[in-house]
Structures are given as C-alpha cells and as structure tokens.
Chain A
C-alpha cells in the first residue's frame, strides 16, 4: 500500500469513527454528522487512490482502467418520474461518498441498534481503491413512463441483430446501468450493493456482472493486458490522456433534441462467452492466425513489436485484428475497457468464462455497430466465442458539483 493509499484508508476510518461518536452522543450530535456527510464529497480523502467524482465527464470512461468491475443493469419499477429522480439524486450523493472512500449515509455502525445500518460495512478500512461509478440510461427508459420519449437521442439506437448472437434476455438491456470499477473487488461490489439497496422499490437489479483482469488499457505506456485466450488485444485503444482522440471518438457532441448528452458517451456492453476448452486444444499457429498477432509479443503478423503499425494486407482476411482495425471500418474507433469474467463452471464442467466487453463511443452508429457487423460476419474468432448478453446505454455527462446529480440535464 502506498503512503497515499494508507492516508486515504486512515481518513475513511477517521470519518467513520467521528460519525459513530457523534451518534453515540445522541440527537444533539445529529447535525454534526450531517455536516460530516455533506463535507465528505469534496473534502474527504483525495488523490491517493480516489478518483475525483465531479467533472464535465463521468469518471470511469477515460479513467485509467482499474483492476476490477461490478457492472449492474437495473429496471425502473416505479412509473413516478419524481421517484426516479429521487433515486438518481440519492445515488449521486452516495456515489460522492463512496468514491471518496466514505461510508454511505450515517455509516455502518453507531446508529440505532434495532435498525439495519445505512452502510453495509464490507468496505470499512479499505482505501477508495480508485473506485469510479458511472451511470447510463438504456433505450427502454425513453418510453412513455417518464415523458422522455422526445428526448431519446438518435444515437441511442436499438442495436441490430448480429449474426451468431445468442442473447439471453435476462442478461441483456435495462433502463439504467451502473459501472463500478475499482482496484479492489470488494470496493466495487460494496458500491453496487449499496446503490441497489438505496434503490429497492424504485429500481431493481435486472442483471449484473463481475469482472477481473482488465482486457484493455487506457494508458498505452502500460503493458497491454491479456484476455482469457492469452492474447493481447486492444493495443490501439484510445488513451485516457488523448484529449483530441476522446473528443473525436468518445465524447458525445450536442445533438438536436438531445442537448443533455453533450459531454456524455454511449456505452455498449456485451457478455461474450469464450469456449475455453476448445480454444486450449487449438494449435498455436491457428490461435495466432485467428488474432493476427503472435502470442508472446503481441506483434501483428510480419511486425516485430506490439505497437508496430499492423500491415493489414499481410494478415488473413478473417483475422480479428484486421477486421477490427479502424482502417477496415472507415476509421471507426471505440474506447474499450472490458474485463474478463468467470462465473465458475457450467453444469458440464466447462469454464463459464469470457470477456465482458465494454466500449465507449461518441455514436454507436459510427462506432460499435459497423465494427461488430464486420466481425460478426467474418471473424475467425467466432468459432471460439458467442455473444450471449447485450445492452446499450446513453451515459450522461459528469456531475459538476455537490448540487448537481446524475441525469439532471435530462430531467430538467
């Protein structure tokens, strides 16, 4: 643990301890606790493992990819617009606290003994672990229920059916999503669990996915991580520090009818099951041909180094890198921050594993859709993978300050 992390961990405990003591003093101290809670957003531990929550864009997109993921999609169960707004406001306040390393509400202990505590407590004593929480709105949110139909951005399309898709409806779609990324899985799970709890009765978890072993990097000088097939992928991913690239490929522009999305992004989430066992029985040559890279270095065919520009025509026409490359897709570029997953084994003893693909882009019609159309038709990798879950979300711009909340521009 770095000194900064240690300091952050200490601050978390200090704030909690203070809140607990305040409660023990009785009703007179309640105001003091409220002040501590309000101040926790901006004045809590900063740096040292915490990613700033406020800003023009939501954290968790250009942020250097953390090690772990808990992603959850929610259905909105209420038809009451005010209740939905209440959830988004409550979520925002809780997210401010959790990303700064503080407990939710009045904390995990020290409250009324007869009642469950506000915070579930499993992140006590852990540093913020660079937790980011990123919210998105699915196409289904823009139906008749909340009067949002006219505000649905044209880029928030219904994804087409791609050849080979075998989508499970209970692992697809959703009115809302929250992406929790952190360097500690317990911190990410804690965040989703507490947001789900705050939302009960108004929103319900539709599906969720845990991820580990980031499969792409937004910091190109770091080593590109490998996926569960053992290959480096996403070498050419958009860098989190490449402002021009982000403006061009990731941040949404102001669109007619959807001004609220300016500075936001569009998130495609796909659960891609990998046929691990058959892949592992595949010859090295075939594996390298499928990707179009060598397994050791990650260099494209005929190239020496991973970051050497690939010579597409030297690759097999159905190789993954060739088909996914911007040059094969009229320049289409997306920011990937997917994770590997394994949910144990299926009933047949096969690893229930794969890639949980997460991609951010300015517009899926010029980003994911053309790229995936080509891949779904021709990619040699299709023999070893299957897309089993799918969702698309409009990710609104960032929360500016402690008066702002997720989605304010959409709802007001």
Chain B
C-alpha cells in the first residue's frame, strides 16, 4: 500500500483511527503493571479486582505445596484463559486478550474441583462482544494463516534479496512479485504494525515533505524502480535488499502478537478489496514492474481466507449475504484468472499479464468486479458482530 501519505498513517492520532478501522492492533505483551495472582493451598489472591480489558498479563505464583492451575473464566464458566501444571514455588506469566466484562479467576490446588475463586471486573470502552467458540476458532485459524504467510514469505524474499545483492537484474525481476505475495495476502495485519509498512511497502510519492528519496526511501518499491526503470543495481540497492530482510524479519516476529477479532478479520477483508480498488486497478502500486495483478490476486486470496473462516458465522446470521459473497468471490476470481499467464500449478508464484497491457475497458471491468464484491463484503463485519 502506501501510495501516498494516506491519513491513516499520519501521526499517532491517525494511527489510532486506523487501528479502530482495521480492528487489528498491536500491543506488546508483558507490559508494566501486570496483575499478580498468588495461589496457595487455601487461597487465590488477586492483586486487584478491577483492571483494563484488552491484552491482559497475569503474573502467577504458586506459593502452595501442591501443583495448581489458574483459570480465567467467563460468567458461564467457559474458559477464557488457563495455565496448567504450575508447580509449588514456581512463577509464570499468563498473557491473554480479554474484552470488558465480569470474570472469575480460579486457582485449583491439586488441579481438581471447582477451585478457589475470585471475581474480577475488566473495564474498557471497547465493548467487544463475547466470542462464540466458532468465532474463536475462526480467529485462531486466521492467526495461524497470517503466521504461515509471513513464514513462507521469508525464503522468497530472501531469494529476491540475494539476487539483488548478487547484482542479477533479470533474476531479481523474476523473484520480485512472488516475494510480495504473502505480505499482500495479509496486509491489513501487517499494516497494523505502523512502523513496518512504511519501511517495506512505501512508494516514492508516499514520502513526506523533507524526506529524500535517495536516503529515506526503502523497501520493495524502491528496488522495483531500480530494477525496471533504472535497470541497474548499485551498492545502495544491495544495502536496501539487506534492510528489507531485516524489516521483514521483524514483521514475522511481530505478526503473532497482532490482535485479531472476527470483525477485524471482516473489515480486513474489506480493506484488502479497498487496496485493490485504490491502488491495483489504477496501476499505481506496481507502476514500474506492472505486476499489479499479482498483488490483486494475493489481496483477493487474503480476503477470501478471512471470509471462508467467518462463513459459518455469517451464514447463520445473514445467509443471503453469505450466498452473495460466495457468488461474488467466485466471479471476481474467475474474472481475474483470465489474465493469468502461468499454468496455475504453483499457488505461491503465479504470474499475470503485465498491467500496462490491460486496456482501459478491461480495467473498468475489473473495477466493476471489485465494486461488486467490496460492497457486500463491507456488510460482513455487521453479520459476524450480531
């Protein structure tokens, strides 16, 4: 993304807005002020009974003589988080993500029975609804998808960086688009880490006034310009290839900590289509390489993944919306694949017609197809929030 300094990424206040819109936030675990839970054979002492919702970090200590376990329970006794096998005299940290509401913390000396309970209240304005098991399953599956995409991207990015470092323009050109697929599939999550996206995926016009493209522009698109427009690799490009890998390494490490909710998945899917509508259909994103349709496909796949995982919930709450989305996803995929130029065997390294060879009329058709999907997709969040 980052075609231009979009308001979403300007300033901290704006980032807060972006966070609300995408629903994907990043918070370091193990923050200061952790709540402590001290278990003994006859007590379960919690340092405070009221603390903020969100990322919750509990410092556990077993001062008793028996092995214990500590649970955070919903009012209906569903387990919100747990830590088992806490031996006598040991400490542990339980990090979890909890919405506002009433909970109980239970210590179970000997790991049996109902445990010794303490009521706690989590406060906050973000009144996220309690999650159903199927919502939890969707979020868990999406989290592992995001992680897998990041991990699978690294070797492809490494191969691309190595070609740049070796000064091999032709090889680097071939490896450029595939190196971006995992990123493009999960972009809304990646973008929630406000510091990484501008380093790896910014375009020249996304730089701020006073920033020098020579020194301040980094990431894929800087290398794209070198390869396709300048047609040469110098020392600076080799250095930037290394920096891209450093930044992508940081992305892979962080991605598991992203906050993900069913509505953020739904709105993330919608924002992937927005990416297509704003930057890919226009040919803005890949203006030198014209590999926009590869990004398009990856954005579409990432949106599809979110939707597929949310579908059981969506179908229950709004079956006609689910039918419409099934139809429009299939239709846009079919429409896009007309431009595919490989045999379709490799899911992670496809090729598409160069976007400068896609006519205005064809672009209009693609744009209509994107609108056809994005409009119902914008209603998915409401359907999963019901």
Chain A residues in the interface with B (C-beta under 8 A): 75, 77, 111-112, 114-116, 170, 197, 200-202, 204
Contact = CB atoms under 8 A, between A and B. Distances in A.
24 contacts: A75-B368, A77-B372, A112-B382, A112-B385, A112-B386, A114-B267, A114-B381, A114-B385, A115-B378, A115-B379, A115-B381, A116-B378, A170-B360, A170-B364, A197-B375, A200-B372, A200-B374, A200-B375, A200-B376, A201-B328, A201-B371, A201-B375, A204-B368, A204-B372
Contacts of B382: 111-112, 114-115
B263 interface: yes
B338 to A, nearest CB: 15
Q: What secondary structure prevails in chain A residues at the interface with B?
A: loop
Contact of A116 (B328, B360, B379, B385): B379
Interface residues of B, number: 20
B154 interface: no
A202 to B, nearest CB: 8
Given A112-B382, A116-B378, A201 B267 contact: no
Question: Which of A75, A77, A112, A115 has the most B CB atoms < 10 Å from its CB?
Answer: A115
A200 B267 CA distance: 18
A204 B267 contact: no
Interface in B340-386: 360, 364, 368, 371-376, 378-379, 381-382, 385-386
A197 B372 CA distance: 9
Given A114-B382, A201-B373, 13 more contacts: A77-B372, A112-B385, A114-B263, A114-B267, A114-B381, A115-B382, A115-B385, A197-B375, A200-B375, A200-B376, A201-B324, A201-B376, A204-B372
Contacts of A75: 368
A345 B113 CA distance: 79
A201 B372 CA distance: 4
Contacts of A114: 263, 266-267, 381-382, 385
A204 B379 CA distance: 19
B255 to A, nearest CB: 23
Nearest to B360: A170
Contacts of B266: 114
What secondary structure prevails in chain B residues at the interface with A?
helix
Contacts of B267: 114
A75 B368 CA distance: 10
Interface of B: 263, 266-267, 324, 328, 360, 364, 368, 371-376, 378-379, 381-382, 385-386
Q: Which of A77, A200, A204 has the most CB of B within 10 A?
A: A200
Nearest to A115: B382
Contacts of A200: 371-372, 374-376
A77 B368 contact: yes
A114 B314 CA distance: 14
A121 to B, nearest CB: 15
B180 to A, nearest CB: 28
Nearest to B331: A201
A319 B105 CA distance: 92
A109 B266 CA distance: 20
Q: Name the residue in A75, A114, A115 with the highest tally of chain B Cβ atoms < 10 Å from its Cβ.
A: A114
Nearest to A201: B372
Interface centre among B266, B371, B373 (most CB of A within 10 A): B371
Nearest to B378: A116
Contacts of B385: 112, 114-115
B225 to A, nearest CB: 26
The listed residue with most A CB atoms (<10 A of its CB), out of B364, B368, B378, B385, is B368
Contacts of B378: 115-116
Contacts of B371: 200-201, 204
A274 B263 CA distance: 51
A108 to B, nearest CB: 15
B335 to A, nearest CB: 10
A23 to B, nearest CB: 12
Nearest to A112: B382
Contacts of A115: 378-379, 381-382, 385
Contacts of B372: 77, 200-202, 204
Contacts of A204: 368, 371-372
Contacts of A116: 378-379
B371 to A, nearest CB: 5
- What 6 A-B pairs are tightest by C-beta distance, nearest first? A115-B382, A201-B372, A200-B375, A204-B368, A114-B381, A112-B382
A62 to B, nearest CB: 34
A405 B163 CA distance: 63
B121 to A, nearest CB: 23
A19 B332 CA distance: 36
Nearest to B380: A115
Contacts of A201: 324, 328, 371-373, 375-376
A204 B368 CA distance: 6
A170 B382 CA distance: 36
Contacts of B364: 170
Contacts of B386: 112
A114 to B, nearest CB: 4
A114 B364 CA distance: 29
Contacts of B379: 115-116
Nearest to B20: A113
A79 B379 CA distance: 24
The residue among B372, B374, B379, B385 with the most chain A CB atoms within 10 A of its own CB is B372
Contacts of B263: 114
A30 to B, nearest CB: 12
Nearest to B328: A201
A384 B371 CA distance: 39
Contacts of A197: 375
Contacts of B374: 200
A270 to B, nearest CB: 22
A109 to B, nearest CB: 14
A156 to B, nearest CB: 25
Contacts of A112: 382, 385-386
A112 B321 CA distance: 16
B313 to A, nearest CB: 13
Nearest to A111: B382
Nearest to A78: B372
A116 B368 CA distance: 19
A116 B266 CA distance: 12
A348 to B, nearest CB: 21
